[in-house]
Every structure is written in C-alpha cells, then in structure tokens.
Amino acid sequence: MIDKKSIRKMFPNLIKELEDGENKVSIDGVRADADQAEEEIVDAEDTTIAEAENAMPDKFRHYSPTVVDFIRRCDTCDQAEEIISYLQKRGELSEERACEVREQLKKEGLRSFGPKKEDDYYFKQSGLC
C-alpha cells in the first residue's frame, strides 16, 4: 500500500492541483438509466468524430508527428534535447537519427528545423480554427 507521503513525492503537481481546487467540475445532474446515458454519449461521440473527419484535410488524417515536429514546438535547445532523449528512450528514434538531429541542433541551431509551431498549428493549417 502506498502512503500519502509517497504519492506526494511521486506526483507533486497532481497533489497541488487537487489541493488548490481550481480544476474541479461540478456535477449538475444524475441519470437513472445508465444504458440510455451511454447511448447518448456514444451517439454524440460518433457525430463529433464524423464531423471532424469530414472537416479535416487528408494531409492530417492518421498523421503521426516526427521528431522535427516536436522540436519545432520547443523554445530552447535544452527542450529539444529532452525531446530527442525521450523519443530515443522510447525506441521511437534510432541512435543514428538521434545523432543526426543532435548534430544539426548543435551546428545550425533550433530554428534550422523550421519556424516555431505555435498553439493550434494543425487546426489552423486544416482550416478548423
């Protein structure tokens, strides 16, 4: 069994959020029929997914960001290095590719990968925002 002290040490930001109470959501209603509630949720999700798929251009359908996409969101070279190490540790970036990216970062700088991708970049590119 994990005690409160261990949880506080492992998840300090989560504990802070819980204690601050800023991110609480009130529950304004209760449904008596669980099956009906589930059907309504599934119907709403299906509609939302269908609308999003129709609105999104094919260039972002099933898109998986690369190391360069993540680096273009960074503000500093240290952040970029963290991204490279993380992807390499997860096995999503080979040792060889990680070395190439690090070398480019060191020699040519952060913006050699392209301009910074701001918030909602993909929404703006797809015309959704």
**28 three-class SS:** coil
Task: Name the residue among 110, 112, 57 with its Cα closest to residue 81.
Answer: 110
Q: What are the structural domain ranges in the chain?
A: 67-126
pLDDT digits (tens, 9 = 90+) for 66-79: 899 899 999 999 99
Token code pair at residue 81: 């290095």
Distance in angstroms (rounded) separating the CA atoms of residues 18 and 15: 5
Which one has a higher pLDDT value, 8 or 46? 8
Q: What is the DSSP letter of 115?
A: S
Q: What is the DSSP letter of 112?
A: G
Global pTM reads 0.52
With a pLDDT cut of 90, the percent of the chain lying above it is 33
